[in-house]
Structures are given as C-alpha cells and as structure tokens.
Amino acid sequence: MTPGHSLPEPNEYVIWASSSLLALVLGLGSAFFLWVALHRSDRAELAHGAVVSLGLGLLLIGIAAERPLTRAFFVILAIVLVAGFALGGPEFARLAP
C-alpha cells in the first residue's frame, strides 16, 4: 500500500449505497404519484412532456452540483423518475385503485 493512496472508508460505501437507494425509492414514488395524477389526462403527450421536463431539470441540477454524492443522487433520481413514468404504467395500473 502506497502512502499517497488510501482506501475509502467503509462508511463512504454505506453513504453512497443508501443515497442511491433513496434516489431509487423517491424516483419510483414520484413516478407513481405523477402517473396516478396524470394518467387520465386528456392530453397524454403534455403529461409525458411535463414529466420529461421535470426529469431534465433534476438532471441539470445534478450536473451542476459540486459534490459527487449530490450529483449522483439527482442523476439517479431523474433517470428513475422518467423511466418509471414511461415504463411503469401497467404495473402502476395494478396498484392504483
């Protein structure tokens, strides 16, 4: 082991993993909430555009963040939000009343 290179602390792995999982849960939860609110909209393309623009805004916030952990959180949140909304319709339909 060279003195100039140290291994990351184990707690850093826990912080990164828990932040990633939190972003996944928040993204899926937000996608479900938006799907329930918007799936009966008369203009479905407008609803999809709104979710994509929200995801793009979150992605830009993540790219602009200084800390890598914050950057990763917002990028994962944006990707899961848009992908969950676009691909989760049939699964969300079984969960929604």
Question: 3-state class of 3 per DSSP?
Answer: coil
Domain boundaries, the chain: 24-95
16-26 pLDDT tens trace: 899 999 999 99
Neighbour-count burial of 74, counting CB atoms closer than 10 A to its CB (0-12 exposed, 13-18 middle, 19+ buried): buried
55-74 pLDDT tens trace: 999 999 999 999 999 999 99
pTM to 2 decimal places = 0.83
